[in-house]
Amino acid sequence: MAGATTVLVAQAAIAQERVFIQIEAQPSLAQAEAALRGYASRLDNVNGFSLGGGWYGIALGPYSPDDAGQLLRNLRANGVIPRDSYLAATSEYRDQFWPVGAGLATEAPVQPAPQPEAAEPPSETPVVEAAPEPEPQPVIDETPREARASEALLNRAQREQLQIALRWAGVYDAGIDGAFGRGTRGAMAAWQSQNGFDATGILTTGQRAALMGQYNAVLDGLDMRMVRDERAGIRIEMPTAAVGFDRYEAPFALYEPTGDLPARVLLISQPGDRQSMGGLYEIMQTLEIVPLEGPRERNRDGFSLTGANSRIVSHTEVSLRDGHIKGFTLIWPAGDEERRERVLGLMQTSFATTDAVLDPAEVSDAGQSVDLVSGLEIRKPIATVSGFFVDSGGAVVTSAEAVASCGRITLDDVYEATVAARDPALGVAVLRPETALAPRSVASFRQDTPRINSEVAVAGYPFGGVLSAPTLTFGALEDIRGLRGEEQFERLALAAQPGDAGGPVVDAGGAVLGMLLPKAQNGQSLPEDVAFAADASALQAFLTGAGLRSSVAQGEAAMAPEDLTAAAGAMTVKVSCWE
């Protein structure tokens, strides 16, 4: 009897458990985000989770086990999700990064009982607080005795601010402690001498105002004011002459440029826990506003991200307290470091929060797009072309022109690669991944001469990587030479797109005839369906010179189109050129 009772209790526990439908896993956050946007456009309750080991899962739910099982069967039967989708417990997932601002999905919380009186709703738009009236300055400056007396009225923060200003002026190099000892007095005397005052070592009220005026001159025109964003639950000092509130796209309040200075501010506000904070940490690093170069720090209760490139410097600070994730991002133009540091310092010291938090569902139609996360652009490559594997270690052949001026290169959005060899005359380059790869297939170059007008196809990413897998574009081999009789080139009748450049040109049996070259940009106008490829024999000679051994094949019997697509796609790789 006891055993039967145990089984019944266990079954009841399972029946109450909430489960997910695991539908896909991707080896990079970028690939997972691309897949998530596709699923979210046609399915409800789509979630993205970190699975650990660099993998990211896509799941539907949560549901009761019975509901999940029925939905899984229906979706698989209709071909809406992969046939290998399965039910997964919540314990299998780590940080949730999709939807942005969500925590690990749970049942809807119980609503609290209504209060006798509703609280006054927060202001729909942030409030810029009035600037304090400037303190009146004495017309007649003070004697040293009067200066010491007025100095005694300063609080510690004001005394520390004077030491910071003296350090900025280059006359003080000791600690900022608010104590006016021998070092501070010497610095005051040095500043007085530099500015035409008697070197008494005691700053008068007027001199203190002059010193702080010099120090704050860099902020002139920015109108640093306190902004109170009641919906986000954040109060912070901002350059209100440079940025103004634009809209809410949870978990962000977006403050966009209002003038010529391309500065931006984000306020970050969402409910959540360490898992959802971890998801935010991951997603922020995919955004265009957070350049890759710069330090990253993360602990149990917060993180910071600093990134810089030739255009911007970005700094993000986020903390988790009492179930609220709050923070801010400052984006500032590069080359204006003194002002940026001063603005950032004022934002850091003024940042304060309340219990209010943005609704995670508050995302506008304008904030949802294949290239946007909560209204912010994801980081995109300068160019995306194609390439193909030529050896078992993962070496890739691609267009030399496409990778000529890249800050970095990735293969399939995941693997960093470098240029190992190039032949500008032939238009090809070899890329080496920084970590060895194990390709599913490598190119076999055709040895015999193909028949003119025979069917060919190019495998590539014609839409710049929007699609997650390569596609085939079919055409014909027009000539085994270039227009001027060049033996290292082939002429094709094929309507290729720019993203196809670097992809393998294959015959009907899957043997590689060459590599598709980008359209010439020399002012020559040719019909749209005229394309050129670097010949297989010229490619082999180039690879041999680069120390690589290539596989060979003879013209084989034609494959079925679906088999050819699979064979060519297995060797084709997306090549992305980044700033």
- Residue 255 is predicted with a pLDDT of 96
- Residue 130 is predicted with a pLDDT of 77
Range 224-377 classified under CATH 3.40.1000: yes
Q: Which residues pair with 24 in a beta bridge?
A: 58
Please tell me what DSSP assigns to residue 201: S
| Dist CA 529 CA 493 (whole Å) | 5
Burial readout 389-413 (b: 16 or more C-beta within 10 A, e: otherwise):
bbbeebbbbbbbbbbeebeebbbbb
Structural domain spans, the chain: 17-94, 144-219, 224-377, 383-578
pTM of the shown model: 0.65
Query: Between 182-194 and 156-168, two packed helices, what is the crossing angle to 10 degrees?
Result: 50
| CB neighbours of residue 68 within 10 Å | 19
- Residue 372 is predicted with a pLDDT of 59
Which one, of 308, 297, 368, lies nearest residue 341 by Cα?
Answer: 308
Residue 113 phi/psi, 5° resolution? -65, 145
Range 383-578 classified under CATH 2.40.10.120: yes
Instruction: Beginning with the edge strand found earlier in the chain, give each strand of the sheet holding 352-353 in spatial order.
Output: 127-128, 224-229, 234-239, 352-353
Residue 140 phi/psi, 5° resolution? -105, 130
| Dist CA 16 CA 63 (whole Å) | 10
| Dist CA 477 CA 493 (whole Å) | 6
| Dist CA 209 CA 138 (whole Å) | 11
| Dist CA 478 CA 415 (whole Å) | 36
Residue 440 phi/psi, 5° resolution? -70, -30
| CB neighbours of residue 481 within 10 Å | 14
Q: Digits of tens for pLDDT over the chain (579 positions)?
A: 444 433 333 333 334 478 899 998 887 777 788 788 778 878 888 998 888 767 788 999 999 888 888 888 888 888 788 887 888 888 888 888 888 766 555 543 333 434 444 555 566 788 888 766 655 554 457 888 888 988 988 888 899 989 999 999 999 999 999 999 999 999 999 999 999 999 999 999 999 999 998 998 999 999 999 999 999 999 999 999 999 999 999 899 999 999 999 999 999 999 999 999 998 998 899 899 999 889 999 999 999 999 999 999 999 999 999 999 999 999 999 999 999 999 999 999 899 999 999 988 766 555 455 555 677 878 888 899 999 999 999 999 999 999 998 989 999 988 999 999 999 999 999 999 998 899 999 999 999 999 999 999 999 998 876 777 899 999 999 999 998 889 999 999 999 999 999 999 999 999 999 999 998 766 567 888 899 999 999 999 999 999 999 999 987 788 998 999 999 999 999 999 988
Please tell me what DSSP assigns to residue 480: S
Which one, of 460, 457, 443, 465, lies nearest residue 503 by Cα?
Answer: 460
Give yes or no for a contact between 464 and 499, defined as CB atoms under 8 angstroms apart. yes
- Residue 270 is predicted with a pLDDT of 93
Q: 3-class SS at 148? A: helix
Give yes or no for a contact between 517 and 451, defined as CB atoms under 8 angstroms apart. no
Task: For residue 40, count CB atoms less than 10 angstroms from its CB and return exposed for 0-12, middle for 13-18, buried for 19 or more.
Answer: middle
Element (H, E) at 22: strand 19-26
Sign of the four-CA dihedral 404, 294, 51, 106:
negative
Question: 3-state secondary structure string, 305-332?
Answer: EEEECCCEEEEEEEEEECCEEEEEEEEE
Task: For strands 551-553 and 504-507, give the pairing.
Answer: unpaired
CA 388-391-395 angle, to 5 degrees, is: 60
| Dist CA 252 CA 232 (whole Å) | 8
| Dist CA 30 CA 36 (whole Å) | 10
Residue 326 CA to chain centroid, in angstroms? 19
Please tell me what DSSP assigns to residue 293: S
Which CATH topology does 17-94 take? Alpha-Beta Plaits (3.30.70)
Indicate left, alpha or beta for 523 from its phi (over 0: left) and psi (-120 to 50: alpha): left
Query: Between 29-40 and 274-284, two packed helices, what is the crossing angle to 10 degrees?
Result: 100
Please tell me what DSSP assigns to residue 530: E
Please tell me what DSSP assigns to residue 107: P
- Residue 101 is predicted with a pLDDT of 61
| Dist CA 313 CA 332 (whole Å) | 5
| CB neighbours of residue 429 within 10 Å | 27
Give yes or no for a contact between 393 and 420, defined as CB atoms under 8 angstroms apart. no
Q: How far is CA 147 from each of CA 135, 140, 176, 185, 203, rounded to the nearest angstrom?
A: 16, 12, 21, 13, 6
| Dist CA 489 CA 393 (whole Å) | 27
**How many residues does this entry show for the chain?**
579
Instruction: Beginning with the edge strand found earlier in the chain, give each strand of the sheet holding 296-299 in spatial order.
Output: 243-249, 252-257, 264-271, 324-333, 312-321, 302-308, 296-299
Task: For residue 25, count CB atoms less than 10 angstroms from its CB and return exposed for 0-12, middle for 13-18, buried for 19 or more.
Answer: middle
| CB neighbours of residue 451 within 10 Å | 11
